[in-house]
Structure 1
């Protein structure tokens, strides 16, 4: 590799790493408990006894009425099912377009309809960590900024791999030279851990960047596809009297056999226009349960309106969100994600140490050239 090329890659790796390292440390530290967010949430949830397979679920309209009784003056926004427990949650808010941080959540037994103790998802330590991890409490600008940091991280990984190539040419993998200098030992540790976590870090970095543009992607989908169906109702006010939610879900089940409802959006929430229930169906496998299929049901008649197909970019988004937190293989994969997260923290800290103990750029380039020629890393 020519000196000019080597220097260019070195500068790319140096500056992309420096710019994003502190933010990546924040993401890794806050992301560690979020990997186990589901398990942590279950610790605060009430024990719900299993029900008989043939037990008849309570009517969904009655469930919504019970939830609204808990929060007088609210309107229903979303209804969803817990796949691991016989419970139904109902999100409510002061108005149909209530943002998530201002929503209320009621948890009800799916069969008896008993109102169960429920921690609000928009409060507590985990919510604080989630907001800090995703948008720094800055909303969409914060999310986009973190997305840029994730992309810089991906560039730093790729450039680091290019620079590590000469060292790997002649040195056994995992070489740690501890007898020459502390800085050299830290460099070897940085290189080895960087290679070990390279694939995972790229996956998490790229999926993280994709997740930061979730809101613009959802808005684009709503404008492109849902807008087509909303146009049929142009000039009509949003209905104030809604048809049976239970009938709408039954219609969606019949329209998508072999699938189960994951959640329902009410008119005005942004997920199904102003005149439809959006019944989002999911499959029964670890992959298909992430790829929702929306079924639009007329909110005044409970009649099927359409089953729009999700565009490719929405499918990519839905698949990347659980992959980012290792939510495909349950607890074993989450433990692996946590271990790789800890190793990545070590990579970032060792990189900061090497920058503090840095020499001149020209000296480092000379060392890299020597590594390319002899296989001895600097």
Structure 2
């Protein structure tokens, strides 16, 4: 018959191979379904808390948790850092200074972290914010106790410390797998359809699936970025411990020095201002972000560790480390960050979207809420996949209860 190809008698026609029946498609579908379902409740919490953290500055300001300082008179020189530390110690004489933190957005402020004698890390540290020009303490809430600080702890580690960070990293990794597998299974579902087409009048489940595919495609790049950076941030503490065990040990072995009790430098040592000036002179244009005392978990027994941040571009998001001798303010070495800490540092602004002003914050928020919808919509699609079978079970259950 015209229009039909001839077939040999007794030979059945070979059925066309459908991509949806391939093993790779079935594996991708299984991964997409189950990684999405497992991650869904945790990812919903992370999306909501992350959206709040995008506007943490505005929220702190609105609820009165922002710290305000009066402007100093023009030409007023900053107080020596030794006076700043002394003023901080006056608020807690039994403690000792571990670090000085300089606020880039508010250069009139410096925070002194005070710890118990013998402590080498920031666990249990008491931050004291001081006015650099007046040398007086500024009333400021502990950022860890503010509403946004509590939400940050939830978002970062589920109130569980390092185990919680790793658990959050696992959730982010599941989301990455869900997204990548979604790319694999997306093609067969939209074959022959215009991009963004939402089919109506053919059942709610089909309409929701079209919405799922469309919004998932629109937000795919953002979701991959946020999830991948979530994985790297979850490994941040481990990366820091690796740096301590390798690079910091190398610095200590290279520049050495006798062991002594961790604590402030003796009066015969260099002043804090001299240490800071020496570090900044060794890296012109870079400014001090953090000064760690010798004997801390992040410095050698005889050197200050000074973190220097760059003047512009990506350099403002990175830092280099100056090792400054406490005795004579000599810069022993300027050390660049290893690649894994560079990745961690760059992941933070990309994850939270807090580097491009209000327009970027609004974009991050919109993408987060679209992703929230996709997450809930995907769970509904799984639940509603066999409506007739489920209705029959519900009817049977109702008959049994009535009997």
Whether the TM-score (by the shorter chain) exceeds 0.5 is yes
Alignment equivalent of 1:134, drawn from 147, 150, 156: 156
Residue pairs, 1:158-173, within 5 angstroms: 158-173=180-195
Whether the 8 Å contact between 1:96 and 1:269 is mirrored in structure 2 is no
Deviation at 1:267, TM superposition (A): 2.3
Indicate which of 103, 126, 139 corresponds to 1:104.
Answer: 126
Aligned to 1:236: 259
Q: Deviations over 1:297-320 (max 9, x none)?
A: 122332212111211111111111
Partner residue of 2:346 out of 314, 319, 322: 319
Query: What is the Cα deviation at residue 117 of structure 1?
Result: 1.1
Which residue of structure 2 aligns with residue 24 of structure 1?
43
Deviates more, 1:234-243 or 1:325-334: 234-243
How far apart in 2 are the matches of 1:133 and 1:239? Answer: 33
| Cα distance in 1 between the residues matched to 2:235 and 2:324 | 28
The separation in 1 between residues aligned to 2:121 and 2:248, in whole angstroms, is: 20
Q: Which residue pairs with 1:263 in the alignment?
A: 290
Query: Does the C-alpha gap of structure 1 residues 339 and 281 become closer, same or farther in structure 2, counting only changes over 3 Å?
Result: same
Choose the corresponding residue for 2:97, options 76, 82, 86: 76
Which segment is superposed worse, 209-218 or 240-249? 240-249
Whole-Å separation in 1 of the counterparts to 2:257 and 2:374: 55
Alignment of 1:189-228 (within 5 A): 189-228=211-250
The alignment status of 1:121 with 2:143, answered yes or no, reads yes
For 1:1-378, what aligned pairs fall within 5 Å after superposition? Answer: 1=19, 3=21, 4-42=23-61, 43-51=64-72, 54-85=75-106, 86-95=108-117, 97=119, 100=122, 102-231=124-253, 232-233=255-256, 236-238=259-261, 240-242=263-265, 243=269, 244-359=271-386
Alpha-carbon shift at residue 246 of structure 1 (Å): 1.4
- Distance of 2:119 and 2:346 partners within structure 1: 26
Which structure would you say has the larger RCO, counting Cα contacts within 8 Å and 6 or more residues apart?
1
Are the aligned partners of 2:257 and 2:301 in contact in 1 as well (CA < 8 Å)?
Answer: no
- Once the two structures are overlaid, the 10-residue window that deviates more, 246-255 or 106-115, is 106-115
In the alignment, what sits opposite 1:369? Answer: none
Q: CA RMSD in A?
A: 2.0
Q: 1:207 to 1:234 in 2, by over 3 A?
A: same
> C-alpha separation between the residues in 2 aligned to 1:222 and 1:99?
12
CA contact (8 A) 1:281 1:292 kept: yes
Give the CA deviation at 1:171.
1.5
Deviations 1:277-327 (A, max 9, x none): 111111122411111011111223322121112111111111111211012
Change (3 A) 1:101 1:216: same
Return the TM-score normalized by structure 1: 0.89
User: How far apart are 1:30 and its partner, in Å?
Assistant: 1.2
- Cα distance in 2, alignment partners of residues 274 and 38 from structure 1: 37
Q: 1:99 to 1:356 in 2, by over 3 A?
A: farther
Supply the distance in 1 between the matched residues of 2:147 and 2:326 (Cα, whole angstroms): 37
Gaps in structure 2 of 5+ consecutive residues? 1-18, 388-403
Aligned residues: 360
Aligned partners of 2:119, 2:234: CA distance in 1, in Å?
A: 21
Distance 1:358 1:234 in 2: 68
| Secondary structure at the counterpart of residue 295 of structure 1 | strand
TM-score (norm 2): 0.84
- The structure with more radius of gyration: 2
